[in-house]
Amino acid sequence: MFLPALWYSWCYMKNNFTVLDLLDLDLKDHNSLNLKCLAGRKGLNRIITDPEINRPGLTLSGFFEEFAYHRIQLFGRGEMAYLNMLEENGIMGAVTKTFSYQLSCCVFSHSGNPSKQILEIAEKSGCSILQTDLTSAEFSIRLMRALSDIFAPRKTIHGTLVEVFGIGVLLTGGSGVGKSETALELIERGHRLIADDTVVLRSVNGNFLMGSGTTEMLGHHMEIRGLGILNISHLFGVGSIRDNKQIQLLIELETWDSEAVYDRIGTGDAYKEMLDVKIPLIKMPVKAGRNIPILIEVAAMNERLKKLGYYSAQEFDNNVLKWLESKNARNLYSNNSDIF
């Protein structure tokens, strides 16, 4: 489950993700962080610059070497018990020094309630104190999942993103080549639109690409020359759209060139790197008489077969080789049959 595309785009354009933004994240069900602010509201505008989390146990004991103060500080039951012990013994020097750093914010899990003295130190330093009822482990998983999406490398490209038989297909090509018209026919055939004209790409953990529209409000509209702007969800229903999708196939539409050499067998897989992620690439020539939507459907189904380990072109190549070998063997047997 990924954050809504509107949040991705807004945080990207804003380019500054603050503690207040963290509190305002509209995450549902098993993604919800269940955060509320206990103190230090002056620090809600502090910028979160690191998607990782720090457990400040060593810091509270007075060890400040390699203190990752720029990360979100997570206080679990162990840190809470240690804070209580320090306060009971009047040893608050390390705690005060910890809050003297420009901490982004502190989160207390397990509905932990820091003491009045801790809250006063936080208020004085301008550091926000947040609380969640989640366990430390569960909160860490949810927070890192959310932050990894927000801080993921991203870029905006010109293209159309559709889901065809469960495969995220990114259509690119020159202006007027027919990307939107092709996507419109695919939608009419029961497939789904993610974004048209402008697609926001983000690399998730450097392993795969997610694509979405610039905003949820504008992402599911299409511009068709001669018709104008179309609202796809109103025309075809909410089942014809989705907010984001992993990009698994890139199809470059280009005007047919009679002098160009196009792949006719498909044994050599082509890829294109986008945000350091390799995406399977198909260059598809467009000309009168070619039903591009059907070809894209076949390409998507073929890509699904490849993910299951079945390669049609390689199987054909192997069958041809076996046939040639068997034919050579028969010829060799026929030519030498007189010796038996």
Segment 202-226, tens digit of pLDDT: 998 788 899 998 876 666 888 888 8
- The model's confidence at residue 6, banded by pLDDT at 50, 70 and 90, is very low
| pLDDT of residue 317 exceeding 90 | no
Which are the catalytic amino acids?
158, 179, 197, 264
How much is the pTM? 0.70
pLDDT on residue 222:
87
Higher-confidence position of 306 and 185: 185
Least confident of 9-13, 65-69, 303-307: 9-13
Higher-confidence position of 268 and 161: 161
| pLDDT of residue 154 exceeding 80 | yes
41: burial class by Cβ within 10 Å (0-12, 13-18, 19+)? middle
Residues 40-77 pLDDT 10s: 999 999 999 998 999 999 999 999 999 999 999 999 99
How many other C-beta atoms are found inside a 10 Å radius of the C-beta of residue 91?
A: 12
The kind and range of the H/E element at 69 are none
| pLDDT of residue 177 exceeding 50 | yes
pLDDT on residue 94:
93
Least confident of 9-18, 50-59, 120-129, 136-145: 9-18
SS3 227: coil
What is the phi/psi pair of residue 267, to 5°? Answer: -80, -25
- The model's confidence at residue 258, banded by pLDDT at 50, 70 and 90, is confident
Structural contact between residues 220 and 242, judged by C-beta atoms closer than 8 angstroms: no
Alpha carbon 17 to chain centroid, angstroms: 17
What is the phi/psi pair of residue 302, to 5°? Answer: -65, -35
- The model's confidence at residue 266, banded by pLDDT at 50, 70 and 90, is low
Structural contact between residues 130 and 107, judged by C-beta atoms closer than 8 angstroms: yes
Mean pLDDT for all residues in the chain:
86
